[in-house]
Every structure is written in structure tokens, then in C-alpha cells.
């Protein structure tokens, strides 16, 4: 299933770098998602839990179509048990090697085992 970013998700994918570096200067939108430079130090995705607070959220990062990596290779995942009223969860990914291998990456977010969102981004 291919989901294009919603307005809230567009603002949520943030480039985190030392110092006050605005993400908008280094990303562009492409039909596949967002585009970032290979020198990006790490990604943090902020996901609003909405009415699903009190659930278990799992974020899984994939190398969807990436040079030198098998297709749809799972890179990392983390689970967060939210408390009632918790408004958001964060999922972070840092490269295992620098620069990142170029290609299309994906983050899938599941709430209590059900896919609720996915975000794609390109590194070039």
C-alpha cells in the first residue's frame, strides 16, 4: 500500500543536526516522499497518536530500494508502549555507515500490530 504524506506528516519528518538547522533548507518533496542529502546525520519521525494513545506503537525502518541492499531490507525497529493521553511517539534512525547508501527508504508505524502509517523518503 502506498500512502502519500498527509499535511501533518509532511511537517513531522525532521532532519536533526547539531545546532539550529531548519529541515526545510535540505529537503524537497518527490513523488516517493521526501528527498534528503546522503550526509543527513539521522532522522527522527514524530507521529501523533491521536485517539490511539494507550496503545503499543512499533516503528520499523526499511531500505525499500537502496543501492547494495536487498529489496525491502529491515534496518531497525523500536516499540513504544504509550500511556493514556500521550499525544505522540518518536522513532529515530541513524546510519550504520556514512554516507547513507542512496535510494528509497520507508518507515512503517503499527499500533497494536495494525499498520496505521507509512512514510517514504529518498536519499541522494
CATH of the domain at 74: 2.60.40.10
51 within domain boundaries = yes
- Confidence band of 9 (pLDDT split at 50, 70, 90): very low
The domain tally of the chain equals 1
- Confidence band of 28 (pLDDT split at 50, 70, 90): low
Give the torsion sign (CA, 1, 58, 73, 46): positive
56 within domain boundaries = yes
Residue 29 sits in which domain range? Answer: 7-123
Tens digits of residue pLDDT in 81-113: 999 889 999 999 998 878 899 999 999 999 999
84 within domain boundaries = yes
Q: Nearest CA to 28 among 4, 10, 2, 6?
A: 10
72 within domain boundaries = yes
Tens digits of residue pLDDT in 33-78: 688 999 999 999 999 998 888 899 999 999 999 999 999 999 999 9
Amino acid at each position: 500500500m502506498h500512502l502519500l504524506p498527509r499535511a501533518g506528516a509532511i511537517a513531522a519528518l525532521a532532519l536533526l543536526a547539531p545546532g539550529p538547522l531548519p529541515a526545510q533548507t535540505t529537503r524537497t518533496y518527490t513523488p516517493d516522499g521526501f528527498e534528503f542529502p546522503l550526509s543527513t546525520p539521522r532522522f527522527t519521525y514524530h507521529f501523533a497518536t491521536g485517539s490511539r494513545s494507550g496503545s503499543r506503537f512499533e516503528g520499523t525502518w526499511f531500505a525499500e530500494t537502496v543501492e547494495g541492499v536487498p529489496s525491502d531490507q529491515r534496518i531497525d525497529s523500536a516499540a513504544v508502549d504509550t500511556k493514556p493521553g500521550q499525544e505522540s511517539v518518536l522513532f529515530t534512525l541513524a546510519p550504520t555507515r556514512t554516507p547513507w547508501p542512496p535510494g528509497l527508504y520507508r518507515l512503517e508505524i503499527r499500533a497494536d500490530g495494525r499498520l496505521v502509517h507509512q512514510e517514504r523518503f529518498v536519499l541522494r
